Structure 1
């Protein structure tokens, strides 16, 4: 009797201890929450933020779907079996889209949702603001995952407000540079092997120059040749002159340099044809020519004309850029073209060049035509997102390619840091004799 009662007492005491330990742990986390959030935001989110957010999603899912018009009433089915429903029976719950497992990310969560018959992904895109309000998160992004399924990604806070980027050690992967952070919290990586040519637009103090600085600083430690075309007297790219294999500071120099680059590309074509390979990456390592990244700052300076002579120069520059864009990816010549204003009014050459630049980055712009030129042919949603960037969001941009679009923010590289990078890696500057052309 006593033994049985003591055993029962011991068994009943175990859940009590579990509750006490759980209460202590929860209390400790709540008390340490603010400090943990400041010093270890990812740990705070996984331990405290995500469980609360997941609970909100579960609790609000059905009323949220109904309020956004994403639920389907079961009433038509009831009319068939109405005689089986007794008086006073509760009305049937509407059908809602089936939700998958809520999975945490470093700063938010994602889940997959199966659409009901007749629904399309755009229905959920329109409901994204309501989702962010109900779940108390910074933003919700809805994308099509596969036919009949959408992917909902939520960001708990704005990762672009103060992006935390790991410092890059060593040269890293060839032609691959981390330049900032994406809205998802992931690193913003520009991979020229995957997307070889880029158009970057942005007004003054929008972050365009900062992005170029971050790109060049990341390429400087790599075994690549950097070529600059800065027709504003070299005011921007001269910071990197010790690391540049060539630099043109006016349109006359730019035309000669671009012509030399086209000749270099054609010479590489001959080498590949003789070796019976389709690109320079098929050549043996010792025979492979050095990759060349051509950075054009302020494209409008190349195309604006005031006389017949300038018109001929602008046409020659535009033709050379288009040829480089068409031939360069396979032959190790990559283009990064930037400008404050890029529009069709600069001439048909700009539109033809734009078609060859598969990667686009649009910061805040001063005129809608530039945003349209950068993103309008790729994604209308990306265009709307770019036009919503405010002057206070310096460095924030919308990047788009054939794979889709993202909001991102580049890492700040100061002028002093740019000069330091150029000096540190000046010894890696390849000497390309083909680009040293004499003035006529």
Structure 2
């Protein structure tokens, strides 16, 4: 009797567990649309990711076979012989072994070990099929280490409406969150890690928005901002209250760049006297202020119509190259932007491009500009940039020696950028070395 009672109690307990589980699941399903709209990350972790993970497990073997990524365990003739002579079923093919799926805020990451004879390009070609089978927005495959690829899936397009994270205080020095990556992570420009950047993009592609986001993030920091805008200051004059110097034509730009080179050489002497390799090795009280030089519309510096302009263009290009070569260790950082950047502007542009390790390519009007920005780093990044449509304003491909990503900058309007510059105008360092009054 006691055994029967215990069994009945266990059955009742199991029944209640099932009822509670059913109620919870039903509640989640009913609240799913609201939860997804208001708390997308929570919805993804509770409902989206488990369902996608189930699809991945269920479709893995047939997907690998359909994409030509499965390998027969026995030679083809042996299999056919077995089928004809003995009627035995064909052996299950070997498929690449996958690791555990790790959820992210809007997708998942999966490591896969390659079979002998396979290369990462085989999986890159199958990325579209993976996204279709798993019913996710996009799948991107990259090489993780020899013999292993990394699959990153995005459930939805995180670039559709990137959210600006709340930032308190100035944040880490020379490190600014400017948008969102396709993986859902924050797009961070870290000038200490990648000191010099080339940003290209056609009109209304998002180039100016990215510069707005960068300046807005640097404005509260103890850095000097220097602007070179040879289109009469039409773009960078918005930030003039926060700038330590601004050149609005090529003549002024040549003088300002020469002053920046002299400033860099002076810092080199200071570091040599202190027996340190860069300014970061100096004591805090002796360390000079970092200088971020923003050059808008680089073509205006290099286009020439006369011999005199040719000399100015050569001087500007030489100074920029010297700053790029010496500046990283001495606290001078370059952000060079332009609608069109091509080898037709002269050899100085190509030499400068080689010194700018970080690249951002928005939609461009000519393939040569995309080639100049990304062609020497990664052919896949170049293809991704050329696929950006006019409707995807703000979307860009960023690349460096570490690889490439699709990203989108936060929308910061001109009025917002102007307000930020005015708010932090008191933080603009006065650098007498730049001879601001002479410009």
TM-score bracket for the superposition, by shorter chain length: over 0.9
TM-score normalized with structure 2 length = 0.97
1:77 aligns with 2:41: no
Inter-CA distance 125–289: structure 2 relative to 1 (3 Å threshold): same
Deviation, structure 1 residue 76: 1.7
How many correspondences in the alignment? 439
Deviation, structure 1 residue 86: 8.6
Q: Distance in 2 between matches of 1:131 and 1:80?
A: 28
Inter-CA distance 19–263: structure 2 relative to 1 (3 Å threshold): same
Match of 1:39 in 2: 38
* Greater mean alpha carbon deviation, residues 421-430 or residues 164-173: 164-173
Secondary structure, counterpart of 2:360 in structure 1: strand
* Contact 2:295 2:335 survives alignment (8 Å): yes
TM-score normalized with structure 1 length = 0.97
Inter-CA distance 348–56: structure 2 relative to 1 (3 Å threshold): same
Inter-CA distance 6–114: structure 2 relative to 1 (3 Å threshold): closer
Q: Distance in 1 between matches of 2:158 and 2:79?
A: 52
* Contact 2:83 2:90 survives alignment (8 Å): no
Q: Distance in 2 between matches of 1:207 and 1:139?
A: 22
Secondary structure, counterpart of 1:286 in structure 2: helix
Cα RMSD after superposing both structures: 1.8
Deviation, structure 1 residue 315: 0.5
Q: Distance in 2 between matches of 1:170 and 1:437?
A: 29
* Contact 2:244 2:436 survives alignment (8 Å): no
Q: Distance in 1 between matches of 2:363 and 2:382?
A: 11
Unpaired segments of 5 or more residues in structure 1? Answer: none
Structure 1 stretches (4+) deviating beyond 4 angstroms? 80-86, 437-440
Q: Distance in 2 between matches of 1:80 and 1:156?
A: 40
Inter-CA distance 422–437: structure 2 relative to 1 (3 Å threshold): closer
Q: Distance in 2 between matches of 1:28 and 1:80?
A: 51
Inter-CA distance 438–313: structure 2 relative to 1 (3 Å threshold): farther
* Contact 2:245 2:436 survives alignment (8 Å): no
Q: Distance in 2 between matches of 1:407 and 1:83?
A: 50
Q: C-alpha offsets along residues 205-232 of structure 1, whole Å, 9 cap, x if unaligned?
A: 0000000010001000000000000000
Secondary structure, counterpart of 2:437 in structure 1: coil
Q: Distance in 1 between matches of 2:121 and 2:165?
A: 36
Q: C-alpha offsets along residues 130-169 of structure 1, whole Å, 9 cap, x if unaligned?
A: 0000000000011111111111110000000011121222
Q: C-alpha offsets along residues 365-390 of structure 1, whole Å, 9 cap, x if unaligned?
A: 00000000000000000000000000
Q: C-alpha offsets along residues 31-55 of structure 1, whole Å, 9 cap, x if unaligned?
A: 0000000110000000000000000
Inter-CA distance 299–3: structure 2 relative to 1 (3 Å threshold): closer
Q: Distance in 2 between matches of 1:81 and 1:17?
A: 53
* Contact 2:170 2:221 survives alignment (8 Å): yes
Inter-CA distance 83–63: structure 2 relative to 1 (3 Å threshold): closer
1:117 aligns with 2:116: yes
* Greater mean alpha carbon deviation, residues 295-304 or residues 82-91: 82-91
Inter-CA distance 261–86: structure 2 relative to 1 (3 Å threshold): same
Deviation, structure 1 residue 3: 6.0
